[in-house]
Amino acid sequence: MESADIIFKNAVILTMDENFRLYEPGALAVHGTDILAVGPEPEILAAYVAPEIIDCGGKVLMPGLVNAHTHVPMTLLRGLADDLRLDVWLMGYMMPVEREYVSPEFVQLGTKLACAEMIRGGTTTFTDMYYFEEDVAKAASAAGMRAICSQTVMKFPTPDAKFYEESLAMARDFIQRWKDHPLIVPSVSPHAPYTSTAEILRATAALAIEFDVPLHTHLSETALEVENMRNEQGMPVIPYVKKQDLFEAKVIAAHCVHIDEGEIRTLLHGKAGVAHNPSSNLKLASGVAPVKRMLELGLNVGIGTDGPASNNDLDMFEEMRLASFAQKGTSGDPTALPARTTLNMATRMGANALHIGEHTGSLEAGKHADLILVDISPVHNAPHFRRDPNSVYAQIVYASKSSDVTDVMVNGKFLMRNRDLLTLSEPELLAQGQEYARKIDSFLMAREGSVLSKLIAIGGTSEEESFEIQSKVRIASVEPILQALKNPEIEILRRRHYREYDAYFFFTSVEQGLLRYREDSFIENDSVTKVRSRLTLIGPTREDEFPQEVLLSRSRYLAPANQSVRFYREYFRPHQEKEIEKDRLRFLVKYHDIEFFINLDTISKPNLGCFMEIKSRTWSRQDAELKSKLVVDLIQLLGADPAEATSEDYIEMVR
Ligand SMILES: [Zn+2]
């Protein structure tokens, strides 16, 4: 008789090995961190002795679930902002809050909370991507979980690095120090192609290859991402990252929702594993990944929950059920993704997708003892049919709940017994988590009350105060003014032609100012040569009247507009919105040695007709008086009537 440390007996054992061997009643012997043997109960009990023999009472004993993609510290951001589009959710809420709050302490607490939830739900391995990833590794290993921990690298400043070189150096350092850890596989994460540069993709791949660790990234999550990549690089996402040598590394590719047959083959040849995240993809309306086809072609596809801020939980039972149903529902084929295949994705195939399949993912002698017990006796899972041996897989995937998991072992060590967590103190963690929620709530409440704070939160804002003389006069058409501009007294220094699109956002309180999204399309020889977008928060205006003109003083906050007008509309949620479209001929002229801007505008939306606008920056009252006189002269010289002049802005005309 060989000796073991623990023997589990009287269990329905789903080994999830290559042959899907199933033992009922089965037994399994654990020695140290590993599985010594698994098989029919009489055989195991005849061959092994152990000081501890656990009678499983007919529960299912199976490999622990493998969560192939998540961002565990985001448990602390769960429920913070929901029912938003991905860009508004990410750039408008997650990233600004993360910049403010994410620290090593935040990451450790969020990870511990996540580990408590995952252990309760039967997850024994997870693949993470976040900032301060070494703190995820510390907290996860202290909780006894197995994890692939990937340090994020991005082109933007992150909570743990101002420049990408810093996060890359952190990743290298982390990988070097944790490479031989028994529970943690350190790794590197270029966040996504759209948040990376080609240089980042190449550098992270080189690092992963150097240390032979996985490279974890998001690929082809949304249709927009693929469309942008086609526009910018002339190819979809998968060929683009291949060009950056990404597949030389052991890639874990999250999402892959929008990929075609050729791209599936590229992933296959690149030996990449895919992490399918059905809840997240459905919640953010990204779509449903072609998983059925990926499996037919032989790709290793695991199942992930994605971060708890976009799911909103880490429940792998729910994720399995949804993965199967989504494929059936979208393919019109109820035989797609049967229960056993789905459970395989969440266990052995998932571990293969993460490139750690030789260590975990199935109950086989020599693999680590990462296993769970699931009670299949509750009322929602009764009765039991055994005519078809596959019915037990259906019981697990379609009817079991994460709360049916009673016991969890990782690396030969119990993390939960009879639903008691052994490595984490839940009440303490919950109280600390609530304290963060309180702080983040008050931060966001203060921000949401101010358009300026919201503008600053999305970055790139600069302040500018301007004083200018401005006069506007209605004209019948642009042509006579163009003729009049040939007057030798007027020297034309510069001429530009563009189409201008403005969206003005109004807020209930006037003190908030007016937010303008402006898109200028520059035109040369009838074609658009360049498009520029800006956001301007226009503060309340102070006005001084002069004859026919007005001196304006106002503060403005300018920010480049990298997102669509739709993004800003959903992010700022204006009370009212107006659009103005015009064709603008803009001249910089010199008149009596003073520079003026003359705009000849044809306003097409709404149909307001033509206007001439004359403007000049000014610095003193004396200067303003002089310029004001010259503006009247100019109006007359160009054949318009100064008596018709108005100080009204176009936006005031349309209000
Ligand atoms: Zn993700």
Measured in Å, residue 478 CA sits from the centre of ligand 1 at 54
What does the pLDDT average to over 627-640? Answer: 89
Of 325-334, 430-439, 595-604, 619-628, where does mean pLDDT reach its minimum? 619-628
Helices (H), 2-132: 41-47, 86-87, 95-101, 104-120
Distance between CA atoms of residues 388 and 399, nearest Å: 16
Measured in Å, residue 216 CA sits from the centre of ligand 1 at 10
Please give the mean pLDDT across all residues of the chain. Answer: 92
What does the pLDDT average to over 595-619? Answer: 90
Measured in Å, residue 129 CA sits from the centre of ligand 1 at 7
Of 200-209, 218-227, 336-345, 513-522, where does mean pLDDT reach its minimum? 513-522
Measured in Å, residue 217 CA sits from the centre of ligand 1 at 8
Q: Answer with the residue of higher pLDDT: 548 or 477.
A: 477
Mind listing the pLDDT tens digit for each residue in 368-427?
999 999 999 999 999 999 898 889 999 999 999 999 999 999 999 999 999 999 999 999
What are the structure tokens assigned to 562, written together? 């990298």
Measured in Å, residue 69 CA sits from the centre of ligand 1 at 6
What does the pLDDT average to over 243-248? Answer: 98
Nearest to 631 by CA among 551, 569, 561, 571: 551
Measured in Å, residue 567 CA sits from the centre of ligand 1 at 20
Measured in Å, residue 252 CA sits from the centre of ligand 1 at 11
Percent of the chain whose predicted confidence (pLDDT) is above 70:
97
Give the burial class of 639: count Cβ atoms within 10 A of its Cβ; 0-12 exposed, 13-18 middle, 19 or more buried. Answer: middle
Residues with Cβ within 8 Å of 312's Cβ and at least 6 positions away in sequence, in order, are 78, 79, 82, 283
Give me the amino acid identity at 358: E
Would you say residue 540 has pLDDT above 70? no
Nearest to 622 by CA among 540, 551, 541, 548: 551
Measured in Å, residue 193 CA sits from the centre of ligand 1 at 13
Cα–Cα distances in angstroms (integers) from residue 466 to residues 211, 529, 551, 552, in the given order: 55, 29, 10, 8
Distance between CA atoms of residues 423 and 71, nearest Å: 21
DSSP for 260-281, please give it: -HHHHHHHHHTT-EEEE-HHHH
Measured in Å, residue 582 CA sits from the centre of ligand 1 at 42
Q: Answer with the residue of higher pLDDT: 471 or 213.
A: 213
Would you say residue 552 has pLDDT above 70? no
Would you say residue 434 has pLDDT above 70? yes
- Which residue is listed with tokens 């660790």? 213
Measured in Å, residue 218 CA sits from the centre of ligand 1 at 6
pTM over the 0.85 mark:
no
Measured in Å, residue 114 CA sits from the centre of ligand 1 at 15
Measured in Å, residue 430 CA sits from the centre of ligand 1 at 24
pLDDT at 37: 98
What does the pLDDT average to over 19-33? Answer: 97
Measured in Å, residue 20 CA sits from the centre of ligand 1 at 30
Distance between CA atoms of residues 613 and 388, nearest Å: 82
Nearest to 300 by CA among 339, 341, 247: 341
What are the structure tokens assigned to 95, written together? 């990233």
What does the pLDDT average to over 535-554? Answer: 66
Of 3-12, 104-113, 270-279, 450-459, where does mean pLDDT reach its minimum? 450-459
Measured in Å, residue 254 CA sits from the centre of ligand 1 at 7
Residues with Cβ within 8 Å of 593's Cβ and at least 6 positions away in sequence, in order, are none
Measured in Å, residue 70 CA sits from the centre of ligand 1 at 6
Nearest to 258 by CA among 228, 218, 226, 297: 226
Beta-carbon-side half-sphere exposure of residue 312 (alpha carbons within 13 Å) = 10
Cis peptide before 25 (omega within 30 of 0): yes
Measured in Å, residue 101 CA sits from the centre of ligand 1 at 19
Q: Are 44 and 38 in contact (CB under 8 A)?
A: yes
pLDDT at 555: 67
Mind listing the pLDDT tens digit for each residue in 448-462?
888 888 888 887 777
Percent of the chain whose predicted confidence (pLDDT) is above 90:
75
Measured in Å, residue 395 CA sits from the centre of ligand 1 at 29
Would you say residue 542 has pLDDT above 80? no
Measured in Å, residue 273 CA sits from the centre of ligand 1 at 15
Distance between CA atoms of residues 281 and 372, nearest Å: 28
Measured in Å, residue 508 CA sits from the centre of ligand 1 at 36
Measured in Å, residue 282 CA sits from the centre of ligand 1 at 13
Q: pLDDT band for position 301 (50/70/90)?
A: very high
pLDDT at 90: 81
Measured in Å, residue 367 CA sits from the centre of ligand 1 at 28
Residue 506 host element (H or E): strand 490-506
pLDDT at 616: 87
